Chain A
Amino acid sequence: MVSVEDYGNFDTAWCPGCGDFGILKALKKALVDLGRSPNEMLLVSGIGQAGKLPHYLKCNFFNGLHGRTLPPATAAKIVNHELTVMAIAGDGDCYGEGGNHFIHAIRRNPNVTLLVHNNQIYGLTKGQASPTSERGMKTKVNQEGVFNRQLNPLALAISQDCSFVGRGFAGDIKHLTELISKAIEHKGFSLVDILQPCVTFNKLNTFKWYSERVYEMDESEYPLNDRVKAFEKSLEWGERIPLGVLYVNERPVFGDSLDALKSGPLVRKEPKTELVNELIDGFM
């Protein structure tokens, strides 16, 4: 039996009251609920406050570069599909610096769960706008307010037929735990965008701001594989913000059709180097 204690307790570099604590707690709880042991977990992260999360629980981790969470996570899953591979990113990390990888991970559909700590601001660099900052939000470097349109990651993901799309809130740990569990159990690329207040730099989207707006959506409102309905739902933002699973589809998963992975993880296979001589003969 796996327990929360198995995942350890670490000092963190997060601000007191940061939404990241809620995400860490929900993640640990989800892993325990699913019976996943630290040894079978690989957490891949980038840079930012979210990127530090893998340091705060016992597991295998690859804390790589800003924006580059998804490529190593994708490949790690291919090399050892017995690992549960999660990518932990922030909004700047995943939707800004790593936007291209996000789009292509959706297309590629690896069996990887992506958690995006979406606080609509840059925390580690102290308060610049992120791709999900609201238009008009004033920051130190956006003194006239943010001009660029706010990115809607869920709508983007659904438009490209992402295999699993959900939204959680760091202030609702119970709901978030269940959502993360569902995402991990889903076979295919799953996006969990997590609204997460930044208590230090985002004075607009506060706990109170989110709490007044978020609501748990009724997941029987429409068939979850109805892409048009899901897209419509993903556009709901402002006075009311839905939480829950917005979209699910069963698409072929990256790696599933590869012969090389059929009888066990690639990492445990002996390469077929004995075939090289045959190739050499072809050049003679």
Chain B
Amino acid sequence: MKVDLTIKIGGAAGQGLDTIGSVLSRTLMKCGFFVFGTQYYLSRIRGGHNTFQMRISDESIKAMDEKVDMLVALDRASIEKHLDEMTDGVVIVDMDTVKPQEEHDSLFHVPLLKIAKDTGGNKLYANSVAVGAVMGLMCLDFDVLAEVLSSIFKKKGQEVIDNNIKAARAGYDHARDNYPHGCKFGIEQPEKHHNKMLISGNEAVGLGALAAGLQFISSYPMTPSTGVMNYIAGKANKFGLVFEQAEDEIAALNMVLGASFTGARSMVTTSGGGFCLMVEALGLAGITETPVVIFQAQRPGPATGLPTMTEQGDLLFAIHAAQGEFPRCVLAPGTPQDCFYMTAKAFNIADKYQIPVIVMSDQYLADSLFTCERFDQAKISIERHLLSDEDIKGMQGEYRRYKITSSGISPRALPGQDGVLVGADSDEHDEFGHIDETQENRISMVHKRMNKLELLREEMQVPGVHGPEDAELTLIGWGSTYGPLAESVDTLNGQGHSVNLVHFTHVYPLPAEKIRKLLAGSGKKICVENNRLSQFARLLAAETGIEMYDNVVRYDGLPFTPESIIDALREKGVV
């Protein structure tokens, strides 16, 4: 790659990091770069120390880098905390307002506030000045920034647009005219993208649900899942779907089950703590065989934990949650493409098997911005598996919601359809849905439900292998760690090591036989996970008997970077 730059914006909550981050990342993406953005924020609306970090390249990038080339320091803490992450970089700082403790070569004064007031008449434009200065230091075409500002502030009117552009231009010119090292950070603008999008994991899940024909969603806000709820709720009227903010997560999932029972494609969104409250209703979905998609964006627990950080700590919980045994499916997307296509797929699985399907994300995947191929809606089909009115007319005898079949899947009709009465029961029930506590009935109903799990197991996708087939070292991961893992594998192979990656997105139920075959010839296996207890490694061992050589774990609330994975592997002496 010719270009590989990391830009970090640091400041307190409320200073507009989000705006700078999103304007800049969108602009750079439009310039033709691949952009990857992550946020680090604390659970507060004002103050604290937050950052927005983006990495840009002329080639596809999958993860964050740890070294920083350009830092926009909106407060002193940003300089103090991040100066040691700088390579040979530049710190954009307004020394009229932020007084650095000591002199440093990389500090570059841009009077953000003064320029903002001079050009737009308001300090609010300081963020646009900063974005302009970054573009100026990279000696990039200003017009693209002007275009992005126009589109972002479209709703606020022409005056606001003009002022933002003026402020950004002044910041841009200031950098071009005053930076002593000229175009030191000047980068060649690649060819513009034709088919790329810049999107967060949460937005991609929301789009996937809309593409799947979502009709009803009820949720209670909880970081970091709220973005999906917000995204979908904002489109509800346009799409003719219903969103209802529930009084609590218990109500949310119970509502969604009522909606699904009555025939609407339905989902809830939550994080671990909210999922805890949904567990009772998860079992209800299991025994009533009511399809539902549960989006669960993990954050470090237990209890309130680290509300705005990341972890993959809820895997075994999701798989085992609720009393009793019943089939369920757990999918864990690793990229925004996965978020889009697998969310849509989750609805089809839920409808086909009449089970709850949990889509596991986490703060890292939920909030990060990725540059990826345009989603292709044509690849998504909507498969409802419902009895039509004609099917019902042709039926013999009284309708049985829980009819025993060889597959375990009972033909599903909806209440209100002519010629049927539909019953669902949280008690063990007979084929009609009426309470039946006999042993004979219990056994046949357990067989019926658990049969579906075995059928589903065969449909679960087996991962591909990233890197050389016959590598000496195989890294194993699941869900959001795909990017950092794939990139560390590429880096290590580039350095002459022999490493590959087997990354799981379909995490439960696992098709054991196929996985044993896939991993039969592999060398040393190391499972890399964002948790303390190597939960996926345990699951894999339990389901397939495959044991790891060792595990790499991270549980400090932060995501893996390729560097941190490689360092950990070095420490273990395997590379």
Q: Which residues of A contact B (CB under 8 A)?
A: 13, 38-40, 42, 44, 47, 52, 54-55, 58-65, 68, 70-76, 78-80, 82-83, 100-101, 103-104, 108, 255, 258-261, 265-267, 269-273, 275-277, 279-280, 283-284
**CB pair A82 B416 closer than 8 Å:** yes
| A40-B416, A275-B238, A280-B375 known; A68 vs B254 contact (CB < 8 Å) | yes
Query: Is B4 close to A, CB under 8 A?
Result: no
Query: Is B541 close to A, CB under 8 A?
Result: no
A-B contact pairs, 9 of them (CB 8 A): A64-B258, A73-B258, A79-B215, A104-B247, A266-B240, A267-B215, A271-B240, A273-B213, A283-B199
**Distance of A266 Cα from B237 Cα, bound (Å):** 12
Measured between C-beta atoms, what is the minimum distance from B53 to chain A in Å? 20
Residues on B with C-beta less than 8 A from A64 are 254, 257-258, 284, 288, 424, 426
| A55-B435, A64-B254, A267-B414 known; A273 vs B425 contact (CB < 8 Å) | no
User: Residue on B with the closest CB to A270?
Assistant: B213
User: Residue on A with the closest CB to B252?
Assistant: A71
**CB pair B235 A279 closer than 8 Å:** yes
Residues on A with C-beta less than 8 A from B193 are 284
**CB pair A273 B211 closer than 8 Å:** yes
Find B421's partner among A47, A59, A104, A277 (CB 8 Å cutoff).
A59
A-B pairs with CB below 8 Å: how many? 198
Residues on B with C-beta less than 8 A from A108 are 244
**Distance of A44 Cα from B236 Cα, bound (Å):** 26
**Distance of A38 Cα from B414 Cα, bound (Å):** 14
Most chain B Cβ neighbours within 10 Å, of A40, A54, A271: A271
Residues on B with C-beta less than 8 A from A71 are 218, 246, 250-252, 254-255, 258
**CB pair A272 B237 closer than 8 Å:** no
Find A272's partner among B239, B257, B263 (CB 8 Å cutoff).
B239
Residues on B with C-beta less than 8 A from A63 are 423-427, 433, 435
**Distance of A273 Cα from B280 Cα, bound (Å):** 32
**CB pair A72 B214 closer than 8 Å:** no
**CB pair B256 A75 closer than 8 Å:** yes
Query: Is B83 close to A, CB under 8 A?
Result: no
Mark interface residues in B283-317 (1 if CB within 8 Å of A CB, else 0). Answer: 01000100000000000000000000000000000
**CB pair A271 B238 closer than 8 Å:** no
Residues on A with C-beta less than 8 A from B236 are 260
Mark interface residues in B439-452 (1 if CB within 8 Å of A CB, else 0). Answer: 00000000000000
Find A267's partner among B198, B254, B264, B288 (CB 8 Å cutoff).
B264
Measured between C-beta atoms, what is the minimum distance from B236 to chain A in Å? 8
Residues on B with C-beta less than 8 A from A76 are 258-259, 261-262, 415
**CB pair B210 A75 closer than 8 Å:** no
User: Residue on A with the closest CB to B263?
Assistant: A267
**CB pair B242 A258 closer than 8 Å:** yes
**CB pair B426 A78 closer than 8 Å:** no
**CB pair A276 B211 closer than 8 Å:** yes
Q: Which residues of B contact A (CB under 8 A)?
A: 193, 195-199, 203, 207, 210-216, 218, 235-242, 244, 246-248, 250-252, 254-259, 261-266, 280-281, 284, 288, 374-375, 377, 382, 414-416, 418, 420-427, 433-435
User: Residue on B with the closest CB to A97?
Assistant: B250
Residues on B with C-beta less than 8 A from A273 are 210-213, 239, 377, 382
Measured between C-beta atoms, what is the minimum distance from B240 to chain A in Å? 4
Residues on A with C-beta less than 8 A from B241 are 260, 266, 271
Most chain A Cβ neighbours within 10 Å, of B211, B239, B254, B425: B254
**Distance of A72 Cα from B262 Cα, bound (Å):** 9
**CB pair A61 B424 closer than 8 Å:** yes
**CB pair B421 A283 closer than 8 Å:** no
Measured between C-beta atoms, what is the minimum distance from A64 to chain B in Å? 5
User: Apart from A267-B264, A271-B240, A276-B207, what 11 extra A-B contacts exist at CB < 8 Å?
Assistant: A72-B255, A75-B216, A80-B263, A80-B415, A82-B416, A101-B250, A266-B215, A266-B242, A273-B213, A280-B375, A284-B197
Measured between C-beta atoms, what is the minimum distance from A127 to chain B in Å? 21
**CB pair A65 B251 closer than 8 Å:** no
**CB pair A283 B203 closer than 8 Å:** yes
**CB pair B213 A271 closer than 8 Å:** yes
Query: A-B pairs with the 7 shortest C-beta distances?
Result: A72-B258, A60-B415, A271-B213, A71-B254, A75-B258, A267-B263, A283-B197
**CB pair B237 A260 closer than 8 Å:** yes
Residues on B with C-beta less than 8 A from A60 are 415-416, 421-423
Residues on A with C-beta less than 8 A from B374 are 280, 284
**CB pair A271 B251 closer than 8 Å:** no
Residues on A with C-beta less than 8 A from B426 are 47, 63-65
Residues on B with C-beta less than 8 A from A101 are 247, 250-251, 254
**CB pair B242 A260 closer than 8 Å:** yes
**CB pair B246 A80 closer than 8 Å:** no
**CB pair B257 A283 closer than 8 Å:** no
**CB pair B264 A39 closer than 8 Å:** no
Residues on B with C-beta less than 8 A from A75 are 216, 218, 244, 255-259, 262, 266
| A65-B280, A267-B264, A276-B210 known; A42 vs B238 contact (CB < 8 Å) | no
**CB pair A271 B237 closer than 8 Å:** no
Residues on A with C-beta less than 8 A from B262 are 42, 75-76, 79-80, 83, 267
| A273-B377, A275-B238 known; A68 vs B424 contact (CB < 8 Å) | no
Measured between C-beta atoms, what is the minimum distance from A266 to chain B in Å? 6
User: Residue on B with the closest CB to A277?
Assistant: B377
